[in-house]
Structure 1
Amino acid sequence: MTVSNAIVAGPDEHGLGEELAALGVEIVRIDGLVTATKLEDAEIADADLFVLTDVEEATGIPVAKELNPDVRIVTYASRSLPQFVATVADLAVDPDLLGPETVAEELLADDGEP
């Protein structure tokens, strides 16, 4: 799977969205609550990647998967995901351990496989 578009939800103070955009990925952002309506407006059905930077909005992960079972879920946050969604996410990365440039390159290099 080629990553051509991604939804970034939450504050992106580390700039992962910008790094993905620099590599040619079309980025749509969701601010605030991650709801089904906002995900639909961001065209989750066509998204290759859903990046969540705020684990407080983790309830958006199963909603995103329900709307697009093929979307790859990545969290890029210092805090751990709540147990109820930890198994739904494909990848969890701590920005203190890997910078946004490396994460973006790896997300595009591995053809979307978890």
Structure 2
Amino acid sequence: MSQTSTAVVAGPDENGIAAALENEGVDVTRLDGIISRPQLEEAGIVGADLYVLTDIGQATTIPIVCDLNDDVRTIVYTPKTAPEFVKGQLDLAIDPRLITASVVADELVD
């Protein structure tokens, strides 16, 4: 697997996943609030290696991301459960109470 170099982190980041990815050398773009397809495109999702969602309320962005980028890995990093309609498009769902951001970032980059 090639090393991850770009990521879009969407949602609030109380657990520091964006900083942890940056510490691993990943170029991170952050999005917050209500996220739209144009915002995702502007953030560079079309060429991104990772899409990390921290706000499960924005789960509808996952199908959009997968439509825009066939090769992106999708990760939900939140203690809340991902809705059924996106589970088939997720690569990973991780509870930050169980695995720290630095461990997740290390695993995602290698």
The residue number in structure 2 matching 1:26 is 27
The residue type equivalent to 1:86 in the other structure is K
Q: Deviations over 1:33-72 (max 9, x none)?
A: 1210110010111100000000000000000000001100
Structure 2: any 5+ residue segments left out of the alignment? none
Root-mean-square deviation over aligned CA pairs: 0.7
Matched residue SS, 1:8: strand
Identity %: 45
Aligned length: 109
- 1:80 and 1:55 map into 2 onto residues whose CA distance is 8
Structure 1: any 5+ residue segments left out of the alignment? 110-114
Matched residue SS, 1:84: helix
Alignment TM-score, normalising by the size of structure 1: 0.93
Q: Spell out structure 1 runs of 4+ moving beyond 3 A.
A: none
Q: Deviations over 1:73-102 (max 9, x none)?
A: 001000000100011110000000000010
